[in-house]
């Protein structure tokens, strides 16, 4: 069942999303070579709870952490661990917050230290593909228009789009209908109507599109062990122009003029 949220409900989701954006920024302050990823998870959990929220991921289908932390060839759903970040890594941080009864969901991928130019371009272009997908989240379009925008941009550079994992609706439940693939055909899929809330989240691989799941039942890696990037916004479908409810503003205030900054073109207004 697809839900269509009122302006009042959307305002509540946006409050949740502001806490989420600030939680991301608290994590970003600590991202550097030598820090264990489990330390980042502690910071996020504490911040979310201190600000009246509930970590959406913690305990979800027995997931053991507040953050999905995915390093290098891990696409999504990586566990925080004792692993210490190294110069040249990339790390994707995916987080959700439930506040006032509503979830918000977003993700950001950071370069650590001296990352190769090719991998930096992967991050920038994945982020750009997110905004191209977001542009299509307007009333009258279809879900396939979002996926088509992401796919055609990513594949233009020789990257591949993960098929097994998709975006989704979000609201009172963390995952709601409809599914929002990062690939597709224009004019196909469920029709977008004002009030739909979508988590749009390109997962773009440097190499092949195939993925494998680790024995832990969660961690998803690229089949060829090449890097993957992941960026995500929670978005309200509107007439004429989408409304991005989550924000990277707090992250980018922290990462500005540092090696963590992921540059993008001005493809759309945030």
- Residue 40 is assigned to a structural domain of this protein: yes
In the chain, the percentage of residues whose pLDDT exceeds 70 is 98
Pair 20, 63: CB distance under 8 Å: no
List the CATH number of the domain containing 110: 3.90.230.10
Distances (CA, A) of 42 to 38, 67, 89, 160, 182: 7, 9, 21, 33, 31
Pair 67, 27: CB distance under 8 Å: yes
Question: Is 105 annotated to bind ligand?
Answer: yes
- Residue 100 is assigned to a structural domain of this protein: yes
Residue 269: is its pLDDT beyond 80?
no
- Residue 2 is assigned to a structural domain of this protein: no
- Residue 227 is assigned to a structural domain of this protein: yes
Question: Is 41 annotated to bind ligand?
Answer: no
- Residue 38 is assigned to a structural domain of this protein: yes
In 3D, which of 107, 81, 113, 112 has the Cα closest to residue 92? Answer: 107
Question: Is 94 annotated to bind ligand?
Answer: yes
- Residue 25 is assigned to a structural domain of this protein: yes
- 247 vs 266: which has the higher pLDDT: 247
Q: What is the pLDDT of residues 171-222, one digit of tens each?
A: 999 999 999 999 999 999 999 999 999 999 999 999 999 999 999 999 999 9
Q: Among the residues of the chain, which ranges form H helices? A: 7-28, 37-50, 117-135, 143-156, 249-255
Q: What is the pLDDT of residues 227-239, one digit of tens each?
A: 999 999 999 999 9
Residues of the domain holding 222: 7-255
Per-residue model confidence (pLDDT) at position 264: 81
- Residue 261 is assigned to a structural domain of this protein: no
For range 106-113, the mean pLDDT? 97
Residue 118: is its pLDDT beyond 50?
yes
- Residue 268 is assigned to a structural domain of this protein: no
Look over the chain and give the mean of its residue pLDDT values, rounded to a whole number: 96
Question: Is 128 annotated to bind ligand?
Answer: no
Strand, coil or helix: 219: coil
> How far is 270 from 268, CA to CA, in rounded Å?
6
Q: How many domains does the chain have?
A: 1
Question: Is 168 annotated to bind ligand?
Answer: yes
């Amino acid at each position: 069942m697809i839900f269509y949220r009122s302006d009042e409900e959307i305002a509540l989701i946006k409050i949740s999303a502001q806490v989420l954006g600030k939680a991301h920024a608290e994590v970003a302050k600590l991202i550097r070579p030598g820090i264990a990823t489990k330390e980042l998870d502690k910071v996020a959990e504490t911040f979310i709870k201190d600000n009246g929220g509930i970590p959406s991921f913690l305990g979800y289908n027995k997931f053991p952490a507040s953050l999905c932390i995915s390093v290098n060839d891990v696409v999504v759903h990586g566990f925080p661990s004792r692993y210490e970040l190294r110069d040249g890594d990339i790390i994707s941080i995916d987080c959700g917050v439930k506040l006032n009864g509503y979830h918000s969901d977003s993700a950001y991928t950071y370069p650590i230290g001296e990352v190769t130019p090719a991998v930096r371009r992967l991050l920038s272009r994945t982020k750009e593909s997110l905004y191209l997908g977001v542009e299509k989240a307007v009333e009258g379009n279809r879900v396939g228009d979002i996926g088509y925008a992401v796919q055609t941009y990513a594949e233009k550079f020789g990257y591949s789009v993960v098929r097994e994992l998709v975006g989704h609706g979000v609201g009172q439940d963390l995952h709601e209908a409809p599914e929002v693939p990062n690939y597709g055909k224009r004019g196909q899929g469920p029709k977008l109507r004002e009030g739909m809330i979508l988590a749009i989240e390109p997962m773009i691989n440097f190499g092949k599109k195939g993925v494998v799941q680790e024995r832990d039942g969660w961690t998803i890696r690229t089949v060829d062990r090449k890097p993957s990037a992941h960026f995500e916004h929670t978005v309200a479908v509107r007439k004429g122009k989408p409304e991005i409810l989550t924000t990277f503003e707090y992250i980018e205030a922290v990462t500005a003029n540092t090696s963590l900054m992921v540059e993008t073109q001005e493809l759309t207004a945030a």
